[in-house]
Structure 1
Amino acid sequence: MVFHYPNGTPFNNNEANNQKKQEKKKPVDFAKRGMNFEDEINLSNTYYLNRRLAVIHKKPTPIQIVKVDYPRRSAAVIKEAYFRQASTTDYNGVYKGYYLDFEAKETKNKTSFPFKNFHQHQIDHMAQCLEQQGICFVLLWFSSLNRCFFLSAETLIHYWTEQQTGKKSLPLKVLETEGIEIKLGLAPRVPYLDAVARYLEKKTD
């Protein structure tokens, strides 16, 4: 099956997944459960939903199907499709009356988080959400260190603009001082709403 970006450029799935495959050579050690960062966030969202703490879902990727083969009556195979638009962020929803919008990223780096993991249209989207008073942030997972950080979109955008000065990554020391480290638990596994609550407390002080 062939996907295309909105401008018609073919989507190279192998190239797009190359970095993810490299980072998944060694399974993420979430209590040796063999699950990746996104899986754990999805389970955390289910935990929050079941307990009526928040309604957060992963955004579906909109596609337009243009070619389908029917090898037999009972089966259909999509041969070609287009991404209708560039993806924005991974998750959105509502928490205590606040609109939440966030992206989840991971790296195997140990000292910094590469800016290449983000795209300009994602930064633009987060800036637009902030203009509407939304709570926007990123969850950053260092798979080699087993450490997770909450970083507000305001802070990310600030450092993103510094790429013009030659900085290509976000130092771990910055995340330790300006972000909020999330200690992994059992239920939920990634208790990121605790970090959101701390962020809101600081924001309203």
Structure 2
Amino acid sequence: MSLESDINDSNKYYRACDIALIYKKPTPIQVVRVDYPARNKAKIVEAYYKTPSTTDYNGVYRGCYIDFEAKETKNKTGFPKMMIHDHQIEHLEKVKLHKGIGFFIIRFSYYHQTFLVDAPLLIKEYHQTTKSFIPYKWFLENGQLIKEGLRPRLAYLKEVDAKYFKED
């Protein structure tokens, strides 16, 4: 399964069990042209992004606003910095400024490992490293490995608890 599918399945589980209310944000697009080969087979053939989307997911958990971006790479050596966009960094910095919880979920598919990384920590590394990627080793040292299972598929809220709700 893809990272997005795993997160969507996990969020569905979290909502069904009243653990959290987290949704995937829709990507704002402007449809320009549609082909209608048959009445019930409309196909969008040309569309453009209206505005850059901020992050992939947001919602409420334990009374706190959370917002995060999910990225997946097949790269063995590191996470390509070009996969993170300026508007996503700016958005997650604003989330932090307003006392929300912002983070990244990064999957290295080659290793079958998924990490939760605090947004300010990853953004700091993003700006400090001179390489075009953030090394895989950095994630091993600074990220929190998310356990995979059946229910939820990705237990990322356990890592949110460990990172942001330590005193509870």
Fold match by TM threshold 0.5: yes
Does residue 115 of structure 1 match 2:115? no
Q: 2:58 aligns with which of 79, 92, 105?
A: 92
1:88 match: secondary structure: coil
The correspondence of residues 96-175 of structure 1 with structure 2, limited to 5 A, is 96-163=62-129, 166-175=130-139
Measure, in 2, the Cα distance between the counterparts of 1:110 and 1:79: 35
Identify which range, 75-84 or 117-126, moves more after superposition: 75-84
- The alpha-carbon distance between structure 1 residues 74 and 142, as it changes in their structure 2 partners (threshold 3 A), is closer
- The alpha-carbon distance between structure 1 residues 70 and 92, as it changes in their structure 2 partners (threshold 3 A), is same
Per-residue deviation, residues 155-191 of structure 1 (Å, max 9, x unmatched)? 011011124xx22222222222221111212211100
Q: C-alpha displacement at 1:75, in angstroms?
A: 5.4
- The alpha-carbon distance between structure 1 residues 67 and 50, as it changes in their structure 2 partners (threshold 3 A), is same
Task: Note the residue ranges of structure 2 that are not aligned, 5 or more in a row.
Answer: none
Corresponding pairs, count:
168
Per-residue deviation, residues 92-114 of structure 1 (Å, max 9, x unmatched)? 11101111111111112223212
- The alpha-carbon distance between structure 1 residues 175 and 75, as it changes in their structure 2 partners (threshold 3 A), is closer
Aligned to 1:58: 24
Task: Note the residue ranges of structure 1 that are not aligned, 5 or more in a row.
Answer: 1-34
Instruction: Give the fraction of aligned pairs with identical amino acids, expressed as a percent.
Output: 48
2:165 match: secondary structure: helix
State the TM-score, normalizing by the size of structure 2: 0.90
Does residue 36 of structure 1 match 2:2? yes
Larger radius of gyration between Structure 1 and Structure 2: 1
Measure, in 2, the Cα distance between the counterparts of 1:114 and 1:62: 25
Does residue 188 of structure 1 match 2:145? no
